[in-house]
Structure 1
Amino acid sequence: MLLALLALLLIAAPTAVSAAPDDPTGTEQSEPAGEVTWSPEAAIGELRTSDWAVMPGSVAVIDRTAVEAAIGDSGIKVLVTPFSGLSEEDRDAQYDAISEVRDAIEVDDVEVIEVTGLSVGASIFDIVPSDLAELHPVLERFDVTGQVVAAAVYLQTRELPDDAPQATPATAATAAEVAATVADLRRDPVVVRDGAVVDSDPEQLWRNRLPDGALRLVVMPPIAVGSDDIGPTAADLAPSFPGETVVVLRGRWIDIAGPDQQELDSAVAWSYGFASSGLFGWELDPGPQVALVARRLAEIRSGVVTDQATPDRSDPLGFVLRVLPFVALATVLVLVVVTLRRRSQERVQELQEAADAADRRAAAAARLPDLAAGILALDGLARTGTDAGIALERASRNYREARQILTGTPDSDRAGELVDTAGREIATAADLLDVPNVPGALR
C-alpha cells in the first residue's frame, strides 16, 4: 500500500447530470444532483455507540476480524459509505456528509477511517494500492481489507505495513463453462451475468473509438472474496474469436485478450491510472469504462500519415508502451499529491496551494505518453539539420527534461512549461513535414 495525500484526479469531472456517451465516467444519474444516498445523522449515531457504521448501499468488502485486530483498543472507528454520484454536486455532497460525520466523531483523539465505495481515507490521506497486484482484489472483488488495515496501522504508528493482500488463486474454467460462454457471446457480443448492470451500449462505445475493432464483452459482478471460481477468462475465450478483442469485466477489473496483447495490456494499465478516482469512488457504468480502453488503443495504433507504415506489431511503439503503465501507475498510485479536505481553516490555503501544484504535475505527467508517441511518429521523417529536425530535437530534449523532473523532485510549473514547449515543437515539426494528427502536438 502507498500513502497519498488524497487520490489524484486525472479525469475531468462531469458537471451535468449525464455525460457524453464515451466519457469514461458517464452514465445518467439516478440520484438528484447534490444529494447522498445515506444519512450522516445515522452514521454519527452508530459511531457514537460502535466502532463501525456501514451505510446502506455500501459495496466495499472488509474483513472485520483483520481490521479489528489492527485497530486494537486505539479507539479508531470505521465509516463505510456507498459510491458517490458522478456529478460535481453529488461528489461535493458526499464530501460534505463525510466531513459532517468526522467533525462530530473526531473528538478526544478519536480518528475515523472513511471508505467511500472502494476509496479508503485516513486523516488527510488516502491509502491506495501501489501496483497492479494490490489493485487486482480491490477492483475484482471489491475487497478493501488491505487498505483499511493499512489505514489503521498508519493512524497509530504513522507508518504503513509491508504486507500486501494476496490474490486468491483461481480455478481454471471447465471446457463446458468455456463452451457455454462462447455460445452466449456468439448470440450477443455483450453478455451481462446476473448481478451485473449495464445501462449503456458497450459495443457501440467501443466502435466509436475503434470503428474496425470487434468487441466481445462479458460483464460480471464482483467475485466473492475467497471464491476461486471466476469463470472463463478472456484468454480462455479469445481463441474462439480470432481477430477480435475479448474482455471479461469482473467487478471493475478488466481481463482482456486478443491480437496485439502488449497493446491491450498497456491500454488497460493506462485506463486504471487515468480513471482511478472514478474506479475507486464513483458510480460507473461498465460501457464507458471499457470504451476508455478503446480510446487508448486507438491512440496507440493510429498511423499519422497514409503512406507511413503502421507501427510494427511485434514491438508496437515500444518505448511508449513501456512508459504508458509507468505514467498511469506512477502518476496515480505512486505520486504523493494533495487535494483540499475541509478541515481546520488555518490549513485551507496551504492545502489548496498544494492541490493546485499536484493538479499541474498530474496534467504534465498525463501528457508524456502522447509526446513520446508524437516524437516517435516523426522520427525518421525529419532529417537532421532541417527546420523540422531541429524542432523535433528540441521537443525530445524538453520531453526528457520534463520526464526527469516528474520522476524526481517535482517542480510542477517547470514540468508543465517543458511539456507545453515540447508539444509546440512537435506541432512545428509536424506542420513542416505536412503530417496531420500527430499525438502530443500543441497548437
Structure 2
Amino acid sequence: MTSVIQRLHRLRWAFLAAAVVMIVVFLFAQRQTVDVSYAQSPSGKAAVTEGSAGELTDTDLPSVAELTGMLERDRVVRLPGSIAHWDEKLVTDAIGDADIRILVTPPGLTKQQQDRLREVENATIRIVGTKTGGTLYSGVADDNAGWRAQFATGDVTGPLIALIASERDQDGTPPDIDLLRWRAPTAAELAPVVADLRADRLHLAQGATLESIPDRADTAFPDRSPLIAAFPQQPFGQPVPEYGAALAGEFPDTPIVVMYGSWAEYHGPDAESFSEVVAAGVYSRFGERLAAYAYPQANALGVYLDKVTDVRYAGLFDRPLPYQPFDPLRVALPALPWLFAFCVLVFLGLSVRSVVGPRGGPPRAAPARLAGLTTLAIEMSGLSHDPALVRAITKLEEARASVVDNLPGRHVRRLLDGAESELDTAARELGRADYRPVNYLAGGVA
C-alpha cells in the first residue's frame, strides 16, 4: 500500500514543477515587441514591381552633352512636361551672384534616365517632378503645409531655397515658405461637384486621372461610404478653390476625400485631428516617391486610404475596434505570478512537514500499545484462525506503518482501536477471557 507520506512527497514535487512551468511561461511572455494596432489591419500593402503602377512616362531626354550645353547658355533649363514651380523673386534673391544652375525635368523618369541626369556636371540642382536634389543633399518638405503645396500645385520654393542655401554654404535654417492660398469655390464651380457626389459619390474634374472609387474606400470608412472628389494639379500662384470645407457643409457627418493632383485630404467627422495624422503618415513616408514619379491619382488615393485604415485599426478617435478573439494566455498572464507564489508556498509547507513531521503525530503511548496488541495477536494466532484475528493483524500492520511515517495520532489511535476490537472478538470466540485485550494489557506483556 502506498503510504500517505509518499503521496505527500509526490504532491510536493508536483507543486514545484507547476511553479517552474508558470515562471517559464511568464518570463517568455515578457519579450519586448512593438505593435501599433489592436488587430491586424487589412489595408493593402502588396509590393509593386517597378513600372507596373503606371508611374513611368515616355520622356525622351536630351543627351548629357546637349543638357550640358543648354545649362551653359541658361541658368534654368526646364524640359517639356515639367511640373515643378517656384516663386521667381524669392529664388533669384536666394541665388544672388552665385553660379547655381537648375535642371527641371518631368516626373516618371526611369532609373537609367535619372542616372544620366547625374552625369550633367554643370547642373547644380536637379528637379525630377517635384523631387529636388543638389550636389550633396536633397530638399524636402517636412510638414503638411509643405507637402500640400508641393503635391497640390507643384510648388518647390521652400525645398529649392533650402538647397540653394546649402550650395552657398550658408548657416542657419531657411524660413518656412507657404505660398498656397485658398478661396471659396463659386456656386458655378460647386454645383456640378455636389450633383456628382449625390448621384455617384464620385466627382472627376477635367484633367483628373482617377477613374473610380477604389475598393479600399469601404475598408477605410466602414461606418459610412465616403464621397470622393478628384481634381488635377492646381495652377501655381493662383488661389485654390477650397472644396473640402464647402462639401463638408453640403454633406454633414459624411467622410469626404478631396484630391488635388497627388495631394489627398480628409473632411468630415474628426477632421481637425484625423486629417493631419493621416496626411503626415502618408507623405512623410511616400512623399519622395510620389514627387519623383507620375503615379495616377488612384495609386496616391489607395495609399491614403490604407493609412486611414491603419489609423482606424490603431483605435484612435473613438472609432469602433474590430472583433478580437478571446486569448486565454493574455487573460491568464496577470495571474501567473500569484499562482507561482502559491505553488512555492505549498512546496515549502510540505517540505517543512516532511522535515519536522506533521502536527499531532502518534501519542507517546502508541508504540507500547502497538507492541502489546501485536504480542497478543501472535499468541492467539497459534490457537485461532478466526477472521477477526486476521483483520486485527492487518490493522496492526497499518498502525505500525503509520507510527513509522509519523502520521497524526488520531489516525494511529483509530487503527489500534480497531485492532483491539477485532482481538476482543477473537478472544470471545476462543472462550479465553485472559486473551481479551482489556485483561491481557492490564497485566503487562509477559
Aligned to 1:385: 334
Q: Encode CA deviations 1:335-361: one digit per residue, 9 max, x unaligned.
A: xxxxxxxxxxxxxxxxxxxxxxxxxxx
Return the match for 2:256 from 246, 258, 275. 246
Unaligned runs of 5+ residues in structure 2 are 1-44, 339-446
Superposition pairs of residues 155-166 of structure 1, within 5 angstroms: 155-159=167-171, 161-166=173-178
Return the match for 2:120 from 72, 86, 101. 101
Q: Structure 1 residue 69: deviation in Å?
A: 2.4
Superposition pairs of residues 305-384 of structure 1, within 5 angstroms: 311=315, 313-314=317-318, 382=331
Is the aligned partner of 1:39 residue 2:59? no
- Are 2:264 and 2:304, in contact at CA under 8 Å, matched by a contact in 1? no
Unaligned runs of 5+ residues in structure 1 are 1-10, 19-25, 106-110, 304-310, 318-372, 390-443
Alpha-carbon separation, structure 2, partners of 1:28 and 1:143: 20
Aligned to 1:364: none
- Are 2:147 and 2:283, in contact at CA under 8 Å, matched by a contact in 1? no
Q: Structure 1 residue 280: deviation in Å?
A: 1.6
Alpha-carbon separation, structure 2, partners of 1:312 and 1:47: 51
Alpha-carbon separation, structure 2, partners of 1:300 and 1:388: 35
- Are 2:208 and 2:297, in contact at CA under 8 Å, matched by a contact in 1? no
Q: Structure 1 residue 215: deviation in Å?
A: 2.6
Is the aligned partner of 1:172 residue 2:196? no
Q: Structure 1 residue 58: deviation in Å?
A: 0.7
- Are 2:182 and 2:242, in contact at CA under 8 Å, matched by a contact in 1? no
- Are 2:78 and 2:105, in contact at CA under 8 Å, matched by a contact in 1? yes
Aligned to 1:139: 151
When residues 205 and 301 of structure 1 are mapped into structure 2, their CA distance, relative to the original with a 3 A threshold, is: closer
Alpha-carbon separation, structure 2, partners of 1:312 and 1:163: 33
Alpha-carbon separation, structure 2, partners of 1:232 and 1:64: 25
Aligned to 1:189: 201
Q: CA RMSD in A?
A: 3.6
Q: Encode CA deviations 1:44-89: one digit per residue, 9 max, x unaligned.
A: 220122212111111001233332322222211101111124xxxx
Aligned to 1:296: 307
Return the match for 1:222 from 226, 233, 247. 233
Alpha-carbon separation, structure 1, partners of 2:79 and 2:104: 6
Q: Structure 1 residue 122: deviation in Å?
A: 1.1
TM-score for both structures, normalised by structure 2? 0.57
Alpha-carbon separation, structure 2, partners of 1:100 and 1:213: 52
TM-score for both structures, normalised by structure 1? 0.57
Is the aligned partner of 1:27 residue 2:43? no
Give percent identity, aligned residues only: 25
When residues 246 and 387 of structure 1 are mapped into structure 2, their CA distance, relative to the original with a 3 A threshold, is: farther
Give structure 1 regions of 4+ aligned residues with deviation exceeding 6 angstroms: none
Q: Secondary structure at the match of 1:48?
A: helix
Q: Secondary structure at the match of 1:164?
A: coil
Q: Encode CA deviations 1:214-273: one digit per residue, 9 max, x unaligned.
A: 232221122223322x22422321343355421111122223112343434422321112
Q: Encode CA deviations 1:273-313: one digit per residue, 9 max, x unaligned.
A: 2211222211111112112222122233349xxxxxxx574
- Are 2:216 and 2:306, in contact at CA under 8 Å, matched by a contact in 1? no
Alpha-carbon separation, structure 2, partners of 1:12 and 1:99: 31
Alpha-carbon separation, structure 1, partners of 2:74 and 2:148: 31
The count of corresponding residues between Structure 1 and Structure 2 is 291
Alpha-carbon separation, structure 2, partners of 1:312 and 1:17: 35
Q: Structure 1 residue 315: deviation in Å?
A: 7.9
Letter in 1 for 2:231: M
Aligned to 1:63: 87
- Are 1:189 and 1:203, in contact at CA under 8 Å, matched by a contact in 2? no
When residues 202 and 101 of structure 1 are mapped into structure 2, their CA distance, relative to the original with a 3 A threshold, is: farther
Aligned to 1:123: 135
